[in-house]
Structure 1
Amino acid sequence: MPARRLGRAAVLALAVALAATACSSGGGGSADTAVKSEAPGQGSIDINAKPLDQIRDGGEVRFPLYQWITQWNPFQVDGRYGDAVEIMRAVEPNLFTTDEAGTFKPVADYLVDAKVTSTSPQVITYKLNPKAKWSDGKPLSYLDFKADWEATNGKKDGYNIADSAGYELISAVEQGADPAEVKVTFSEPYADWQNLFRPLIPAAGIATADDFNKAWVEKIPITAGPLKIGTADKTAQTLTLVPDPNWWGAKPKAERIVFRVMSQSATTQAFLNNEIDYATAGTATAYGQLKDAKDTVIRSASPWDEVHISFGGGGALEDVKVRQALGRALDRNALIKIANNGVPVEFKPLGNHIFMPNQTGYQDNSGEWAKFDVAAAKQLLDGAGWKEAGSGQPRTKDGRPLTLHWVLNESTPQAQVDLATAAQAMWLAVGVKVEVDKVAANDFFTKYVNPGKWDIASWRNTDSFPLSSSLTNFRLPQGDNVFGNYSKLGSEEIDGLLKKAAGTIDPVEAAKLYNQADARIWELGHTFELYQRPTVVAARKGLANYGAFGLASTDYAKVGWEK
């Protein structure tokens, strides 16, 4: 699951210096010379889609939750955990959804209309559904849009924001012709405006920095969605969504949706024990146990979901040559085979940090940086001053051994543990000793990744979509805020390319800029992409409108059981 949280202080000057070194080094991918991939089938989705009249009223649907959710404000740096954002879009105004092709669609329960009404400057006019009201009785209005913008544009002290992308380009939020019309004016063009205010958060809930950071901890004070929180039992680690009787749209189908916290590896047995109705089947072990289980259907699709190995920016890894060497020492195809073993869907190498292979504009920019070459890796380490110390021994420099620590979530599936073990051996072959430290699942982000207490780590980034949202993963830190860039590595050039791309309305021209940025990210040795992770899941037979979504968003109000 993704997590975009606040990290410790980052040394901005160091990040810039590293970026300058990276840009001056030789080799690597180029967005102009990259090999373009074949375009796989786009718009993949497998959710047993059913119209509402074919779904039973009532009943209970049970889902796993991989981590207890503490911070519910999706604009706050600790509130970006993937399941939290999805749930918030069921209980707060989700103005736009995406279909299986990743295309934005307005939600009529909230919007009568929303469109660009001026291009110079860019102005978006939203016409709100007059029926839409917050749980405190107030109608949705421009005041909510204005509060969200002011809280997240990065200009207010004390607001620990997750990402200012898009919001920092807004110059004004005003009432339009009437209280149900909102005019949002941009200082610069912004292509992905439909992804802003998703969800919309009430002004009353974020009136102060204290409210923004703390009022949504362990609670959701105000809602305006088809569902609301029924119970949240931290002791039992269960969370229940129930229909909101004040909802003005079509009534949700399920009587309740129950989320139960468990490790990903525990979902297999929980599904077989009929404790949950959905489980991941993306590993050989899970798939083998679930594929022939009674009343079970396997569903799969290609979402925005990537598995990577991240490199930190401290210690020996301050030197870009060392990070580049780590990438050159990895036999990526061998690592992917380990992860893919026993899973029915092929895991293909991912050559891009921003696009998935089933998105228009994808190209492989990895170039030499993901090309397995032991000699090249050793040469880079030699150039960084790390001297060989004999077979099976770590290199040394100034009397220090080249020893790095890979922090691994203890609930990591066995296939990923095997992948880490194989990577250890590959790195030791070039003189880099990597020690794997398993840590508690609930501590992985909060105590290690977020504060920067790691050299190497691996996690999934999911739903970094639309394209402009990729900025948070790679932008230079600002003071204590690392956004989603836990490596704290970046450059002004990368930031500039990503921001320019986000303001480019022509998708072809935008894709060129994003790919130029991606080539620089590869060269920087920031993240070693492994593969796009297909969604392979087991669903209880008869479960409708849920499963493998691809690039589409979840609509929990439509989830239920076939008649």
Structure 2
Amino acid sequence: MTVSEAFSDCSTSPNECNGGATGSGGTLTYAVARPVSGWNLNDADANSLETAQVLAGVLPAAFVTHPDLSTTPNPDLLESAEQISAAPQVIEYRIRAEAVWDDGTPITGNDFVYAWRTQNGVDCTECAAASTAGYDRIANIRSENTGRTVTVTFATPFADWRSLFGTLYPSHVALAKGGTTLAASWKWFNDTVPTWSGGPYKVAAQVPEESVTLVPNARWYGRTRPALDKMVFRVISDPAAAVTALRNDEVQAIYPQATPDTLRTVEGLSEVDHVVTPGLGWEHLDVNLANPLLADAALRRAIFTAIDRRAIIEKTVGGVDPDLKPLGSHNYVPSQSGYRDVVTAAGQGYGDVTTARRLLVEAGYSGVGTSLSNAGGTRIDLRVSYAAGNDQRRQIAEVIQVQLSELGITTKITPVEEFGRTITTGDFDLILFAWTGAPFPTANALQTWASDGGGNYGGYRNPVVDDLLKQAAAETDPDRTAVLLNQSDALLTDDAYVLPLFQRPTLLAVNHRFVNVRDNPAGTGPLYNVAEWGLRR
């Protein structure tokens, strides 16, 4: 961990470090790498870290994941949330009487029902949910006590039930804007800047592609009143430009991709506190299985075998964390107890060009090492895509381009402007991005690897993996869950669909004037406690 004094106790007190009393007033401008692509965070197109951070102070959530990765009922919204029956599995949520949307409408079970029906994959097939995991297992939701007691009954047990209802939207607004047509309100929420709020802040202004401004929600019902007069999210795609803006006090907090150059510059800023920590997020290379060329598992295995992740790490984040190793799992990072390296055993990701070439020759490819063609005579020309403006992924793409040329594969590096639309429409061959971590391994696995997973953008299908994931999702023993997920991971790895690259180190840098801003490896990152941010008293 690289750290300055304000964050020096984060390793021992991650939930309280950089804490303190706040004064009133002030503006904090926070740099985000990409603009909001849609306002419905539950939609696959809009589901990005940047959108999640912008809306963290607007959307109510049932649970909060803290920096130490403990997950507790959100005390602002709920009095309690507990499992009251195991067979069938029943969860009871008790909503605080004070919890209201900013127009005074109570937050009730109707909002839970709206979240369920738009994300269960059945009631709204036109709602392109980022994930249906867990919602598709709910049998019914009942409300009592004027909607303040919500009882959720599962048709099939779901171990990661605490991952659900993390982004609630107002059902009464949905009814007003879309009537009883769920798809209409879903689209309205995605297209429309929120005029409503259920959190400590509300949107006051937006300049498309440039900034979003939040101000305190006058009807906020939570324990902590926002101390700031204003929160501004400013789009700065270039990490170097974000650091310059931090130096010039144009922004007061940045959370860029951690690079050696960025870290060195931040370390030289006397008015800035910073911390580098291992995150739950991880970088990866994905294959589009709808591409007829890439439907051949032999080609995919050869590609993954030829890529050397050590060279990628050395080129990008090795200077930030010299001890960082290639990631060996699709479901866990090394700091989690379930982690098991299944990638190394498959021979993937270590630059074994000789073996990769042999795989291609055995599969009937010609021009191996010069100009690769498959057995049908089609040249293997591929795009390597990434979100435009992401310099680190450009560097990764360049390394991969050189490595795949040793197989005779021609690659075109393709930065894309509308990244969310690119992955959801499948307009890619090979694509680089990162998953944002959360301490819910089965929910994450169902979202990304199940045949019907909302985040399964490359079209992966393996019925044995599906069955193992379903078993894991119903398993209450974490050790047994890990066994099932690692079994599915070994199959997924052999299918060569996604190559894990490395666990992402995170860099948070904050002007020393501000307090209670700290990193969180899960979810929205530092924004998890945005109501507590303020000027240091």
Q: TM-score, normalised by structure 2?
A: 0.89
Structure 1's unaligned 5+ residue stretches are 1-40
Matched, 1:387 2:366: yes
User: Match for 1:117: what amino acid?
Assistant: I
The change in CA–CA distance for 1:287 and 1:215 in structure 2 (over 3 A counts) is closer
What are the within-5 Å matches in structure 2 for residues 366-515 of structure 1?
366=343, 367-370=345-348, 371-388=350-367, 392-395=370-373, 397-413=375-391, 415-439=392-416, 442-446=417-421, 448-467=422-441, 468-477=443-452, 483-515=454-486
Letter in 2 for 1:436: I
Report the secondary structure of 1:68's partner residue: coil
- What do residues 371-406 of structure 1 show as CA deviations (whole Å, max 9, x unaligned)? 4322221122123321135x5433454332222111
**Deviations 1:121-164, CA, capped at 9 Å, x for gaps:** 01111111011112232212222212221221111243222211
* 1:337-376 aligned within 5 A: 337-344=314-321, 346-366=323-343, 367-370=345-348, 371-376=350-355
CA contact (8 A) 1:45 1:301 kept: no
SS in 2 for 1:407: strand
Deviations, residues 267-321 of structure 1 (Å, cap 9, x unaligned): 1222222211123361122122221123122212222110111122113111011
Aligned to 1:253: 227
Measured against aligned partners, the alpha-carbon deviations of 1:49-83 in whole angstroms (never above 9, x if no partner) come to 314xx122211111112222142222222231122
Do the aligned residues in 1 keep the contact of 2:138 with 2:152 (CA within 8 Å)? Answer: yes
- What letter corresponds to residue 383 of structure 1 in structure 2? E
SS at match of 1:61: strand
Whole-angstrom distance in 1 between the partners of 2:13 and 2:412: 39
Deviation at 1:341, TM superposition (A): 4.1
Q: Is the 1:490–1:524 contact (alpha carbons within 8 Å) kept by the matching residues of 2?
A: no
Residues 223 and 520 of structure 1: CA distance in aligned 2, closer, same or farther (over 3 Å): same
| The 10-residue stretch of structure 1 (146-155 or 217-226) with the greater mean CA deviation from structure 2 | 217-226
Q: CA RMSD in A?
A: 2.3
Q: Residue 139 and residue 177 in structure 1: after superposition, are their counterparts in 2 closer, same or farther (change >3 A)?
A: closer
User: Shift of residue 360 of structure 1?
Assistant: 1.9
Structure 2 vs 1, CA of residues 376 and 407 (structure 1 numbering), >3 Å: closer, same or farther?
same
Structure 2 residue aligned with 1:117, among 81, 84, 90?
A: 84
How big is each residue's C-alpha offset from its partner over 1:244-274, in whole Å with a ceiling of 9 and x where there is no partner?
A: 1111222112111100112043312222222
- Once the two structures are superposed, what CA deviation does each residue of 1:516-542 show, in whole Å capped at 9, x if it has no partner? 111111111111111101112322123
Matching residue of 2:286:
310
Q: Distance in 1 between matches of 2:436 and 2:171?
A: 28
Please give the secondary structure, in 2, of the residue aligned with 1:357. coil
Q: Is the 8 A contact 1:501 1:513 kept in 2?
A: yes
Aligned pair count?
Answer: 511
The separation in 1 between residues aligned to 2:273 and 2:185, in whole angstroms, is 44
Q: Secondary structure at the match of 1:174?
A: strand
Counterpart-to-counterpart distance in 1, 2:15 and 2:81:
29
Partner of 1:242: 215
User: Structure with the greater relative contact order (CA < 8 A, sep ≥ 6): 1 or 2?
Assistant: 1
Deviation of 1:113 (Å):
1.2
2 CA distance for matches of 1:398 and 1:43?
A: 59
Alignment deviations for residues 461-514 of structure 1 (CA, whole Å, 9 cap, x no partner):
11344111232222224xxxx721221123122222222211111111111111
| Aligned twin of 2:154 | 186
In 1, Cα distance between equivalents of 2:186 and 2:357: 49
Equivalent residue in structure 2 for 1:83, among 50, 67, 70? 50
- 8 Å contact from structure 2 (residues 119, 132) kept in 1: yes
- Residue 186 of structure 2 corresponds to 212
Q: 1:387 to 1:82 in 2, by over 3 A?
A: same
Q: Deviations over 1:86-123 (max 9, x none)?
A: 33332122221112232211122211111011111011
Counterpart of 1:226 in structure 2 is: 200
Show the counterpart of 2:7: none
Query: Secondary structure of 1:302's partner?
Result: strand
| Runs (5+) with no aligned partner, structure 2 | 1-9, 176-180
Report the equivalent of 2:178.
Answer: none
- For 2:482, give the aligned amino acid: A
Aligned partner letter, 2:18:
A
Query: What SS does structure 2 have at the residue aligned with 1:184?
Result: strand
